[in-house]
Structure 1
Amino acid sequence: MPASVIFDADLAEHHTFGISVRSRALMVVDSVAALANAYQAEAWRALPKLVVGGGSNLLFTEDFDGLVILNRIAGREVSESADHFHLHLGAGENWHEVVAWSLESGMPGLENLALIPGTVGAAPVQNIGAYGVELADFCEYVDYWDCESAERVRLSAEQCHFGYRESVFKAGLKGRAVVVAVGLKLSKHWQPKLGYGPLSALGVDTTPQAIFDEVCRVRASKLPDPSALGNAGSFFKNPVISETLFSHLQQGHPQIPSYPAGEGQIKVPAGWLIDNAGLKGYQVGDAAVHTEQALVLVNRDKASSAEVTALARHVVATVSERYGIELEPEVRILDAQGKAGW
């Protein structure tokens, strides 16, 4: 067996919730060839497999009865056209470090997405977004390893079918595709995106670095450091509801914030719904709704997966009863076979 394989591995340090669950085996891969071997080698072929980047969007409900593959495929390449910088990034690169590097290299555009945890490979799967910007706004292509056809495939951004926290990698290619590289296109004619929250106070003459600094400041003030307090960032998606339902909610809750989400649709902040339902600080065992940001569920010390899922169900039920809105997890909740469900 490869020297990098660990059997009966504790996964606590490989996902940001920091809950102690185990996997039958764990392997680190740093190339597409190594990834291909993990899927094709006789020793692993029959086992369920789970590819993990930074582990910042995972909750295991039980021990994983298979092979966990840590994707550490690195690489940063830059080319230019008349109006754009073109970045080719390995899936194992740290996302925030790439954002900081792009600014330092004179290639702004990603600053609104600063301090989002995880790796480059996870970014298109989740179509990460913050402060009015999504990965889809910059994506040029995604390269993935096809586990069924055993070949490397490139999809254009259009073929990725990006939506709000959605992509083809969570739908038609779920369980089949492992992202190995991402291509981004950054305009040389930079314009600030200041439509969300505290960024609007910066003004149109602001700089990319000022936006980066403010995003980092705000995120750090609201989101707990996983190394100090286990969490997976935003646990729930911000729900998109009909204008009719929103108008009804406004009658009883005139202060409810909202954002346009397409024709006849309104996005409302899940954190606001949870906070105003009186759930900040609510605990089930060692699992709790964060006292500063209600959208985040935290592991206060030695929370079990059962405590976190019980807390999440209570949040969903309470918000549904109060507002008639069914919250959906943004976090991937996985069973022993790596299947979603809670």
Structure 2
Amino acid sequence: MKSKFKSALLATAIMAVAGGASAQGIGIEKIGLAVPNLQADFFNQIKLGVENYAASLGIEVITVDAKGDTNTQVSQVQDLITQGIDAFIYIPAGAAAAAVPTRLARAEGIPVINVDREPEGEPGDTVIYGENVMSSYEVCSSIIERAGGEGKMVIIHGQKGTTPEVQRFEGCKMAIDENPGVELVAQQWTNMWSPDEGFSIGQNMLQANPDIKMIFGQADGIAMGAAKAVEAAGLSDQIIVGGYDGDVAALESLAKCDTPFVVTATQSTQAMGVLAVNSAIAVAKGASVPARQIPNAVLTDCDNAAQFVEKHP
């Protein structure tokens, strides 16, 4: 299957770059890591992957949290550069001004590794993000199948214009287009990909469309918030909810099989952090890295969620 092939590619890339680093020496001492919002488990998992792996190599990591604000992130990156970082791992806080931190780092000759989101017009040396399109297609196909292949559907998007938001809609729309009995009746965007937004938007959508059968939340926080709105409306036996990311809380919920939230795509978030560090080492040493590195996400429901609760990839 395509997903297994991509997993194999990821493992090979990690071993190859790590092997090169081990043979030739590390070459960097300090990494700057800029994340959008550490309230989101997805970004925390990447942070863990970066920090734990870097620590095992004796590399210092300075992590800054933009708390969802792009202006804050630009200021934080300027400060990271003054602290003498040797490489920059960057997850943009949003589409607006996303190119500025990459430009600032590049102007100082600092390798830039983008994770999860790619700044438009100003790419880093490589970008690492989950396979959003086909994995979202699989999630939405699963939702549609569980709903009997027909009915009204709504989508609660992530932050508008970001790489995952655009690609996850593309994948889900492919599944919708394959099923003429499915009607996409509403869409709305969030600012923070958060459970609170998922809950409030979900409530509004249910009031406007009480006969919907499917909800796709583009992140697990959104999906879990929407699922709570479904439960509060007493519609748990009517509506199927799917998410994306494989957040720890979401996986724990799925393993219990007792809410309308029934399927997600689990990303290899900690492995993405490891790959980001290895890529930073490779670029700093002048090695070539792929422009895009795309780890697979695994379709996850109550049948296989427990294995990811025990050990998150």
TM-score scaled by length of structure 2: 0.30
Larger proportion of strand: 1
